Structure 1
Amino acid sequence: MTPRPTRPGLRSSVTAAFAVGAMLLSVALSLGTYLSARHVLVEQRERTALRQAFADAALVRDSLRTPGTGVSEALNSVAPPAGASMYVRRDGEWYSSSLDQSGEELAAEVRPIVGSGSVGVAWTALTEPNALVVGIPLPAVDAEYYEVAVADELDATLRTLSIALMVGAALTTLAGAGLGRAASARVLAPLGDVASAALSVSEGNLRTRLRDTRDPDLSVLVGAFNHMVDALHDRIERDARFAADVSHELRTPVTTLRTSLTLLQRADGLSAQARHAVQLMSEELARFHRALEDLLALGRLDAGINEAELRPTGARELARQALVTSGRPRTLLQAQDSTPDPAVLVDRPQMVRALINVYDNADLHGRGFARVVVSEHPQHVEVHVRDRGPGVPPGDRQRIFERFARAGGAKAGTGSGLGLSIVAQTVNQHGGTVWCTHAEDGASEFVIRLPRHAAREEA
């Protein structure tokens, strides 16, 4: 399959447009300047050659009037200007002051004009460079005078002018490209601010706003973006409050139902079928209660981490407290207590709850919680939680952190489907990341990475 060509970016397009515009403008100006200068120089050269030819023709005519003076003697008596040749046609014969070229060929274009009794001026390309031919009739001596002046100086001047104009056009094109680059950077700078703000909003920082500007063209964009973020923030807060309110309103009747079912389970005289039904109701109600608690936790997280109380806490201390709070033995934490506990800046209750959710996930879906290991690095701390299961398929390792997503397990259907999503949102709002990978023995390993808090460690 042939790959589609990549379209140039906006900055490249603007730079190219400026460069092409500058090139076209400079070429037009250079061409106009060259043609105007060439016209002036050519006219000036023609006037100079005409004056010189009239002067030389007068000298030749006066010499020919002298009795006994031949045409060759008359030509030799006149000193032509540098680069010029003189020709005289008399009685059908051609006489020349130079033997370089035939006067008949050089004067071919002006001979009809001179033959009619007028002065003729024309350019010829028979020389290198071109030459100016001036023809003057001499009726007093029954002759025609021709003077051929090679335009060496004019050619050199025009060549120098053309080179200078081409260099100027090239420099103008480069200057236009540089100006286009600077202009595109200036134009794209607000778009870069919008992109950075949008990225910050997508990462969950809904307090991000664009700064007000006095630019009337950008004020509309800034106002629309900030209004969009405000509306998004309000919508998320309404949804979070709605979920929290619903969960809170359901907590009381659920608690009443659990208490009633507990009393019913302890009652005597229930048949085996009724006791089994009561047990199923109790399990489903417990699952429903866990889902309500998770929804309340998600509602608090959606309200923002800024409402939490962040304190520097040891990573091993967090892992150990999560084990104790969930009723698990401390020996599941494999760490070197002799080394300083790496510190992280977290809201302690939220992070403990997140770790407990990972532990519970290992028990519910990973055939049992195996161990937790805390590893420290120069810039971050990692908490590794390993289970005893067969591992999570690669295609489900990212999806299991979505809300109400499950990937099977030994006790499928016992969780709320919100535990790992709470973990992901909690860790992300603390500036960290969480992912699922596989261990050497094929089991699943969940890794929570949090930034280190060096200030507490130095203290």
Structure 2
Amino acid sequence: MLRLSLRWRVALALGAGTVLLTGVLAVVTWNLASGYMLRQREAGALRQAEVNAQLVEQALRSDTAGLGDLLSGLTTDSDATVLIERPDGWLLSGRQVDVDALPPALLRLAAEGVPARQRIDTGGVPVLAVTLPVEGGRSTYLELFPLTQLDRAFRFLSTVLGVGVGTSALLGVGLGYWAGRRALRPLTELTAAAARVAGGDLRARLPERDDPDLASLATTFNRTADALEKRVQRDARFAGDVSHELRSPLTTMANAGAVLERRREEFSGTARRALDLLLGEVGRFQRMVVDLLEISRDDQRPDDEPDEVVDLGDAVHNVVAARVDDGADNAAEGSAFAVEITARPLVLADRRRLDRTVANLLDNADKYAGGPVRVAVLRHGGRARVEVDDAGPGVPQDQREQIFERFARGANAGRRGVDGGSGLGLALVAQHVRRHGGAVWVEDRPGGGSRFVVELPEVHR
């Protein structure tokens, strides 16, 4: 079920309240105005009918020969009608109407000599029928006053009130949306700042507020962000210091291991296996220390932005060529792979970090996925893209975000030896790509295996 945002709920609530208020005012205005106008019209028609009835009664008593001229003079309105009931039938002047179509109740009251009035419709024309007895009740005077102008006034008034209610509803929704947006602006800023912090930008802060209700929120968030930034920097410095201090003993251990490796023929089978395990762990430890140093260095220099325009196709080609020269493409059987550079987009990058990103993706395919089978450089959706396909079993859906976390090694977490990884390679990839304003993810490769995708913003000269 679609759930509206808080901003729209505020807007619709204010719009509904505005409609309710203006609707009530419109109904009250309509009743008061229409009632007043109708009463005034009825009172005027009744007075006019009484005067006309008196004239007719005088004409009936003196001389009926001029009655027709009198009735013609009384019907000045083209829609007005005057009827007089005579012993020989009804005498009619003005707009012609069917007497039999008049309400029977009104005609009965007229026959009984009872004064009456009633709003009716004759031939599509709304009229006010007024009946009065004349000649002491021996005759009946019936006059039909047209209500066309009054009906038009009612229609105009109802249209104005309806448009007013509709306009007030739109204004209410617009005002509610504006007020909701303004009221929720601090929350929007807080959400944006929190998202930046979650994305790695620890410098995100909220602007200071003069409003006492918002000042404490901004102060608390900024204080928390300051503490988090300092904690991350302390941890980065600690990791860097530890890694730096470990490099000297690790170098000594590696050199000692190299000496032992040259004399391995002097050792027994068990000692050789122990030596291989030792050298493998020392090598893995060295790679971990190097990765930790690079991560801590990046964490301590968040302002270090890429400033070099790099041809992405050339960069990937050079990394692949360096692996071939070093013999890295023979790390696994059948590890030769296709290189498809279908475009040469330009990106703003740090060349060292960009090279390390591509190299880590290729190393990851070698260590965990049977080696890379394809590396491609292309454009997609206006962005530069690098795709690295491997021959492995693929990455489960629930681990596709986890593998980019630090020390995440998935099913290989328990592996040791020369083929084991530190769990920092893909974390470095994600960190370098974020620093370049790009995105990295893993998806299924057509035909099986995984496809690691790096997208970076393209620059144009």
State TM-score, norm by structure 2. Answer: 0.71
2:35 to 15, 39, 48: 39
SS of residue matched to 1:307: coil
Q: CA RMSD in A?
A: 4.8
Change (3 A) 1:415 1:56: closer
Q: Deviations over 1:72-106 (max 9, x none)?
A: 669658437323435579xxx79754395489953
Matched letter for residue 357 of structure 2: A
Displacement after TM superposition at 1:431 (Å): 1.9
| Cα separation, partners in 2 of 1:230 and 1:121, compared to 1, 3 Å | farther
User: Residue 166 in 1 paired to residue 158 in 2?
Assistant: yes
Q: Secondary structure at the match of 2:394?
A: coil
Residue equivalent to 2:353: 350
Match status 1:148 vs 2:154:
no
SS at match of 1:405: coil
SS at match of 1:416: coil
Shift of 1:125: 4.6
**Which residue pairs with 2:298 in the alignment?**
301
The CA distance in 1 between the partners of 2:375 and 2:43, in whole Å, is 102
Is the counterpart of residue 207 in structure 1 residue 203 in structure 2?
yes
1:203 counterpart letter in structure 2: G
Deviation at 1:50, TM superposition (A): 3.6
CA shift, 1:419, in A, is 1.0
Residue type of the partner of 1:347? D
Q: Distance in 1 between matches of 2:255 and 2:99?
A: 128
Report the counterpart of residue 434 of structure 2 in structure 1. Answer: 428
1:406 aligns with 2:409: yes
Give the drift of 1:164. 1.8
Offset of residue 308 of structure 1: 5.7
Structure 1 match to 2:425: 419
Other structure's SS at 1:123 match: strand
Q: Which residue of structure 2 lines up, in the alignment, with residue 363 of structure 1? A: 366
Equivalent position of 2:118 in the other structure:
123
Asked if the contact 2:440/2:452 (under 8 Å) is kept, the reply is yes
CA contact (8 A) 1:107 1:135 kept: no
Post-superposition offset of 1:417: 1.4
CA distance, structure 2, for counterparts of residue 397 and residue 226 of structure 1:
32
Give the match's secondary structure for 2:2.
Answer: coil
- What residue ranges of structure 2 are gaps of 5+ in the alignment? 330-335
Q: What is the percent sequence identity of the aligned residues?
A: 32
Alpha-carbon distance in structure 2 between the residues aligned to 1:344 and 1:250: 36
- Paired with 2:340 and 2:108, the residues of 1 have a C-alpha distance of 110
The one of 443, 456, 461 equivalent to 1:450 is 456
1:173-188 residue pairs with structure 2 within 5 A? 173-183=165-175, 184-185=177-178, 187-188=180-181
- Extract unaligned runs of 5+ from structure 1: none
Listed one character per residue, the Cα deviations across residues 354-405 of structure 1 (whole Å, up to 9, x for unaligned) are 3332333233224456675655789554445555x44524635554333333
2:278 alignment counterpart: 281
Q: How does 1:208-357 map to 2 (within 5 A)?
A: 208-212=204-208, 226-227=222-223, 229-255=225-251, 257-258=253-254, 272-274=269-271, 276-307=273-304, 310-315=307-312, 316-317=314-315, 320=318, 324=322, 328=326, 343-357=346-360
Q: Which residue of 2 aligns with 1:106?
A: 106
User: 2:74 corresponds to which residue?
Assistant: 81
Moved more, 12-21 or 164-173: 12-21
| 3-state DSSP of counterpart to 2:407 | coil
| Aligned equivalent of 2:394 | 392
Displacement of 1:415 in angstroms is 0.9
